[in-house]
Amino acid sequence: MIHTILKKFPIIILNFLSLIIPGQFDLLFAQNKNNPDLIPSFVNKFQYEIGEIRFLGNNSFTSSELQNILASRQTNRGYDHKILLYYDVQLKYTYAKKIIPQIMINSFDQALQTMINEVQFFEQSKAENDVITLHDFYNQNGFHKAKVSYTFEGDLSRQLNVLSFFINEDTASTISGITYLGLDSLPNDINYTVKSLMKVRIGERFNEERIFSEVRAIHFKLLDNGYYYAKYEMPLVLQDTTFNRDSVIISFQTGKRQKIDGIDYIDSTKGQNLVVKDMKDKQLEIGIGDWYSISKVNRSNNNLLSLGTFDIVSIDTSSIFKPQTDSTLSLLVFTQYRKQQEWGVSWYINRTAIDNFTNSGLEALYSHKNIGGIAQNFNIFFRPEIRDFSRWVQELFNLSKWDFQLQTGISLAQPLWFIIDKARFGVAGQLIYSYSKIFSELQLSTVSAPIKLPIKFPEFTFIQYGTFDVLFERQVPMNFDEAYQIELNKADSAAEKEKIKSSFKIYEALNKYRHETGMLVPSAFIFGGSLIGDTRNDIFNPSSGYYFNFSLDLTIPKIWLVPELGIAQFYRAQMSYYLFTRLSPTTIFAFKVRGGLTVWGDQEDTYVPIERQFFAGGANSVRGWASRRLRYPQPKASDYAEGTLDFFQDFVGSGTILEGSFELRFRFPRPANFDELLSEIISNIVLTSFVDWGNTFHWYSNYNYPYKFTDYFTKLAVAGGVGIGYLLPVGPIRMDLALPIYDPSAGRDKTIFTRENVMKDLKLHIGLGYSF
């Protein structure tokens, strides 16, 4: 026990000792009497630490740019390391050894060994290689006459050793000419394209990487236009040192242009159902008679993988099935199949696509990824779930507040149905039954049959994906009459009764339709479509790129000779745009804007499904408000019978939304002096700071409120806060704290600066993944 305590003793008392001992650590270093020019390390008295690296004469490049290419590094002790080292030195003195147990001295030594990665020793061979590296770097950037040398000396006044690199840049060379050989015989169209890639200009400073980048781009363009055997030689640079000019000569060998003469398959099925050849052929963007194209080969590879039936796909040239000639190639497509049938029960957390509600539940699933031989994906599922889980957490797991849904159904998806030009269309359909709780007395029973046609556009466009949707839906409010009467009985005045009637109106029309029609008649027949652009480098933890989504839902209006297709009558458009950019290796800036508008038809006898209503507030919206509780104007509890307002706010949405966010995301760098597990844990911790803004308008309980046009901008609520999270493969599990900064519905004290007791408005949110 004593040994364990003493072993941990240095770490436990480290910060305490730092408060009672002076902060200067001059005793850490002692001058070496044998070599007065250098200061030996206390870690090893026969070695010398690099206390600082200097660059002198580097006028064209910053010191940080040059430091990044060197192998030598300077010692960078953390504050805890410095304190620990100070006391370790003290314990080595004779008087200390007489009163301090040896086990404690050993413990300090062991603790220091865990931080040894922060210490960097001078190595002559490494410094000499750094001189060569710097010389090569300057030479590659046009400074052909640059000279580099170094010294390693002790700075006695600062008690550290300095590694100095002396650079004489001299004059940079400019490009006097750049000549390409071997490209004269290209067809006119390819020749024009290749010339458009020649960006290096005469008179600019010589830059080897820029020249190589141009050469690689030309080489790729040749590979993409039939020149399978194209290659190039290392650029030849002719230097005129007198006038500091460089002439560059680049030789290409294009070879003969190649067409595709055959495509064959080898399938490693591993006992799984075979995908028919016709379906695999449709995934190929290159065909017999086409010029060879590396881009088309790569896209074909990705198309085959996207079917979901293959673990491995490889497309390469081969003469196994058909001999190749001097102008033709044969392609061999190798596929290794994955397990196609799966079943099981699992817990899941997901988020709805646009509203970003976090849902959690259990799923029992049977899946077949190639049920008919053409890569159809067939599923049978059963899902009990809690929707908008973070709202339930806010309510401290109050069972009366949970938004429960039971869902079961089947789905069938065909990833590729037909192709128009370069757009690829699939089709997917589902038959779903769901039972959801509106509140304790009112439930919603729904049978729906959504049909979706996914579209894949060329990757170089702003919009890469799209969908066309058709939804047949039969919704039935269960126990409506009983629930309606219970709420009316809570009212104490005629005004309160009118509020209740207005809030139930959207469900009353649905209940009336239920009694007037048969069970197989749809209550909603909705057409929809969406356009999606997505260039995020990581969908769960993006650091660059954008995400764009525009969607439109509409129903067929009641017009002459057109039969009524349900009582849902509305038009809804919404748009979301997210932007991500990296500010530093550890910091990312993220921006979101979202808007939605609904036009509701005959408000007396029609309804808008709850899935098409807008809600604001919560973990993935304006975080200064509880989930679904932000709208303008904000209803007053005094205007409603006791216990009724919560229901109306949670399950009656709005027709218009406008919201956005600015967010800074910081991820801790990986520590160098910790063990692997602790370093991994620390590097997965993320911090956020954010400002959210937005509001919803045209609440369906008060849809005809007289808004001014300026209200849509001046009545936007603003909130700010901070968060902490831990990164998982699907994004961080996070906790956010937020306060309202501006509340447009407040009678007085609209801003946080004039409000008393602001902490009572603090909101805590738990979420999976970033808020957007």
Higher pLDDT, 534 or 769: 534
- Tell whether 227 and 315 lie within a shared domain: no
Q: pLDDT at position 393, please?
A: 65
Condensed to tens digits (0 to 9), the pLDDT of residues 94-104 reads: 666 677 777 77
Side-chain-side CA neighbours of residue 767 (13 Å): 27
Question: How many Å apart are CA 564 and CA 557, to the nearest integer?
Answer: 8
Mean pLDDT of 658-665: 96
In the chain, what percentage of residues exceed pLDDT 70?
Answer: 88
- Tell whether 604 and 658 lie within a shared domain: yes
Q: 524 φ, ψ to 5°?
A: -145, 135
Domain boundary among 119, 144, 168: 168
| Residue 325 included in any domain | yes
Give, in order, the Cα–Cα distances in Å from 281 to each of 147, 202, 286, 496: 60, 47, 9, 66
Q: pLDDT at position 282, please?
A: 92
Condensed to tens digits (0 to 9), the pLDDT of residues 23-73 reads: 333 333 333 334 458 889 877 888 999 999 999 999 999 999 999 999 999
Among the listed residues 123, 154, 152, 121, the one whose alpha carbon sits nearest the alpha carbon of residue 37 = 154
- Tell whether 295 and 206 lie within a shared domain: no
Condensed to tens digits (0 to 9), the pLDDT of residues 179-232 reads: 999 999 999 999 999 999 999 999 999 999 999 999 999 999 999 999 999 999
pLDDT confidence tier of residue 7, bands split at 50, 70 and 90? very low
Question: How many Å apart are CA 118 and CA 772, to the nearest integer?
Answer: 37
Domain boundary among 168, 186, 209: 168
Q: What is the CATH number of the domain that holds 245?
A: 3.10.20.310
Give the DSSP per-residue string, 496-521.
HHHHHHHHHHHHHHHHHHHHHS-TTS
608 near 600, Cβ under 8 Å? yes
- Tell whether 62 and 196 lie within a shared domain: no
- Tell whether 18 and 164 lie within a shared domain: yes
| Residue 518 included in any domain | yes
Question: How many Å apart are CA 760 and CA 763, to the nearest integer?
Answer: 9
Condensed to tens digits (0 to 9), the pLDDT of residues 668-705 reads: 888 766 677 888 888 899 999 999 999 999 998 888 88
- Tell whether 85 and 122 lie within a shared domain: yes
In the chain, what percentage of residues exceed pLDDT 90?
Answer: 55
- Tell whether 319 and 364 lie within a shared domain: no
Condensed to tens digits (0 to 9), the pLDDT of residues 524-563 reads: 899 999 999 999 999 889 999 999 999 999 987 765 545 5
Answer whether residue 471 shows pLDDT above 90.
Answer: yes
Question: How many Å apart are CA 656 and CA 635, to the nearest integer?
Answer: 16
Domain boundary among 108, 139, 168: 168
Tokens of 487: 């709420």
- Tell whether 245 and 368 lie within a shared domain: no
Helix (H) or strand (E) holding 219, with range, is helix 208-223
| Residue 343 included in any domain | no
| Residue 493 included in any domain | yes
Among the listed residues 108, 119, 101, the one whose alpha carbon sits nearest the alpha carbon of residue 86 = 108
Question: How many Å apart are CA 289 and CA 445, to the nearest integer?
Answer: 56
| Residue 636 included in any domain | yes
Answer whether residue 352 shows pLDDT above 80.
Answer: no
Give the DSSP per-residue string, 187-210.
-HHHHHHHHHT----TTSBP-HHH
Q: Which amino acid is at 218?
A: I
294 near 431, Cβ under 8 Å? no
- Tell whether 42 and 102 lie within a shared domain: yes
- Tell whether 442 and 488 lie within a shared domain: yes
Q: How many domains does the chain have?
A: 4
Helix (H) or strand (E) holding 381, with range, is strand 377-387
Q: Which domain holds residue 238?
A: 174-253
Condensed to tens digits (0 to 9), the pLDDT of residues 384-414 reads: 988 776 666 666 666 566 678 899 999 999 9
What is the C-alpha R_g of the chain?
35
Among the listed residues 40, 76, 210, the one whose alpha carbon sits nearest the alpha carbon of residue 141 = 210
Tokens of 160: 């550290």
- Tell whether 306 and 378 lie within a shared domain: no
Q: pLDDT at position 400, please?
A: 60
Q: pLDDT at position 517, please?
A: 81
Condensed to tens digits (0 to 9), the pLDDT of residues 576-600 reads: 999 999 998 899 999 999 999 999 8
Side-chain-side CA neighbours of residue 126 (13 Å): 13
Q: What is the CATH number of the domain that holds 553?
A: 2.40.160.50
Q: What is the pTM of this model?
A: 0.72
Q: Which residues contact 738 (CB under 8 A, 6 or more apart)?
A: 623, 624, 690, 692, 719, 720, 721, 762, 763, 765
Condensed to tens digits (0 to 9), the pLDDT of residues 110-135 reads: 777 767 777 889 999 999 999 999 99
Question: How many Å apart are CA 366 and CA 364, to the nearest integer?
Answer: 7
The DSSP secondary-structure symbol of 559 reads -
Answer whether residue 12 shows pLDDT above 60.
Answer: no
| Residue 342 included in any domain | no
Q: pLDDT at position 684, please?
A: 92
- Tell whether 414 and 514 lie within a shared domain: yes
Q: Which residues contact 286 (CB under 8 A, 6 or more apart)?
A: 260, 292, 293, 296, 297, 300, 331
| Residue 356 included in any domain | yes
Q: Which of 117-126, 378-387, 502-511 has the lowest mean pLDDT?
A: 502-511
Condensed to tens digits (0 to 9), the pLDDT of residues 717-730 reads: 999 999 999 998 87
Question: How many Å apart are CA 687 and CA 536, to the nearest integer?
Answer: 20
| Residue 204 included in any domain | yes
